[in-house]
Structure 1
Amino acid sequence: MAIKFQYNKTSLGDLGKQLKMRQKALPTIKSKESALRSEVKKAKDSAADYRRRLDALKAEYDYMAALWGEFESDLLRVGDVRLATQKIAGVRTPVLEEVLFEEKPYDLFTSPVWYADGVELLKRLARLGIEFEVYNRKMELLDYARRKTTQKVNLYEKVQIPGYEDAIRKIKRFMEDEENLSKSAQKIVKTKQQQAGEGAML
């Protein structure tokens, strides 16, 4: 990205302000990136933990596979999932507050004995599955924000700050060269005037 500038004091002042602004912002952006990196790792670890727990619960579900044929599929369903938002390093992420189930009443005397355990197992499976999805989404949002922040850090560090410094250096050199040329021109004129003055006296 080429930085546009003109060889004058106004442009030099503007570039100086832009450079200072980026140099001031860089440590803040770097600490945000570091915080996001740490949060992404935490979210990944939590998602992996939920995945392990979910797999263990599914194994428990599969263990009862022969019994599920007797289970009435409309006995239990997820009625509502309540989410809240939490800001982590400036990123809004979802937090699971509660999973509400709609349970159809069943007769405890005529239904199989394991129904109560089956309903509880399904509730745990559903809750864990939803928690896993929420953590996955949280991890995606945080990772996306971290990648964007890393891009910004790289843009500032590797492109913009060196670009502004280079442009400022070029303007200063140009202005120094111009000043030196002006002084040289003045000396030449002065010398010629002195020579002309001496020539007129003779």
Structure 2
Amino acid sequence: MARLTLSKAQLARERAALDMYRRYLPSLDLKRRQLMAERKRTEVRIVTLREEEALRVDGIGAEIPMLADTRIDLNGLATLKSVRLGERNVVGQRVPVVENIEVDIAPYGRLTRPHWVDLVATRLKEVLRIRVEMQVAAREIVLLDGAITKVTQRVNLFEKVLIPRAETNIRRLGIALGDMERSAVVNSKIGKRKREATGA
């Protein structure tokens, strides 16, 4: 810790720093809370997507019991062609957002395969979309966790280091400057008495 200069200018600097810290701390704390709320919303979205995926996957068997026929090859029917991601700003943190998902449905002969293959292709396309959205949401959680950690460290720095240090410095400077003023007054009175005593 640097030595304090015992001066009124240093006291003014410490008071200004303390005011600045107290002014910025609430906005940092608000940012942390907003990031945590966004993280919670993303967690809820992931849970919803998982439930939706399970519903789609489990629903395919109930909706299309003909899937049990293993003679019909459905491998490679739906494949992920491309994913275009964008970004959105969450309280200063850039997080990915899905802009477009392209899924290729492999060409198949409409007359050589049963009619229900169309429905299977549609459901597979939906499941692929849900899985991509879950991966992007998981990445968002990682980025938000990093941002929350960084902001929490700053909040702790202000609350536990900078503000207490500034308050301590202000107290020390106040005491030291008060002692110096009293000492100066006492010295001037002693000097005045000596002058009066020698002048008399």
TM-score w.r.t. length of structure 2 = 0.87
Kindly indicate whether the alpha-carbon contact (under 8 Å) linking 1:71 and 1:115 is maintained by their aligned counterparts in 2: no
1:108 deviates by 0.6
1:156 corresponds in structure 2 to 158
2:141 corresponds in structure 1 to 139
SS at match of 1:78: strand
2:39 corresponds in structure 1 to 40
What is the alpha-carbon distance in structure 2 between the residues aligned to residue 29 and residue 172 of structure 1?
29
1:6 deviates by 2.1
SS at match of 2:82: strand
Kindly indicate whether the alpha-carbon contact (under 8 Å) linking 1:96 and 1:131 is maintained by their aligned counterparts in 2: yes
What is the alpha-carbon distance in structure 2 between the residues aligned to residue 161 and residue 68 of structure 1?
70
What is the alpha-carbon distance in structure 2 between the residues aligned to residue 45 and residue 14 of structure 1?
47
Aligned length: 197
* Percent sequence identity over aligned pairs: 29
SS at match of 2:6: coil
Confirm or deny that 1:87 pairs with 2:89: yes
Gaps of 5+ in 2: none
What is the alpha-carbon distance in structure 2 between the residues aligned to residue 111 and residue 173 of structure 1?
91
What is the alpha-carbon distance in structure 2 between the residues aligned to residue 76 and residue 67 of structure 1?
18
Kindly indicate whether the alpha-carbon contact (under 8 Å) linking 2:81 and 2:103 is maintained by their aligned counterparts in 1: yes
1:13 corresponds in structure 2 to 12
Amino acid corresponding to residue 105 of structure 1 in structure 2:
P
What is the alpha-carbon distance in structure 1 between the residues aligned to residue 122 and residue 3 of structure 2?
66
Amino acid corresponding to residue 53 of structure 1 in structure 2:
E
What per-residue deviation string (whole Å, max 9, x for no partner) do you get for residues 87-134 of structure 1? Answer: 111211111122102232110101233321221121111101111111
1:97 corresponds in structure 2 to 99
Note the 1:20-59 alignment, pairs <5 A.
Answer: 20-59=19-58
What is the alpha-carbon distance in structure 2 between the residues aligned to residue 89 and residue 9 of structure 1?
39
1:73 corresponds in structure 2 to 75
1:182 corresponds in structure 2 to 184
Kindly indicate whether the alpha-carbon contact (under 8 Å) linking 2:72 and 2:113 is maintained by their aligned counterparts in 1: no
Gaps of 5+ in 1: none
Taking only aligned residues, the RMSD between alpha carbons, in angstroms, comes to: 2.2
